[in-house]
Structure 1
Amino acid sequence: MVTVSTVTPTDPTQNTKVTYVKKDAALTVLFLDKTTGTTLATVSTATKSSSHRPS
């Protein structure tokens, strides 16, 4: 789940520092039988956030 925050500058004519806190990512895929609704398989993966910052 992604949480979005709004940043409101105290002085809109000046730059406002916004700090991004990276989080690890996880993904789980369920393969379901469309007829019975039974889970046939589950595949999960997780990764650490990289320290690379896009330019």
Structure 2
Amino acid sequence: MSALATLRSLAFMAVIAGGLVTAAWDGARSMSWVHDRDRGDVVWIATGPR
């Protein structure tokens, strides 16, 4: 394999890896639990004496 073919293969793998990382990052950011900070389903239980 020539040096040019090696460099071309490495560049192609870098582009593919960058695309996969970008897709994974975008998918992780769009998950609902990332943006679900305050759903309002907290139940407060009065534990003090009456």
- Tell me, yes or no, whether TM beats 0.5: no
Greater RCO (CA < 8 Å, at least 6 residues apart)? 1
The structure where strand makes up a greater share of residues is: 1
TM-score (ref. length: structure 1): 0.19
TM-score (ref. length: structure 2): 0.20
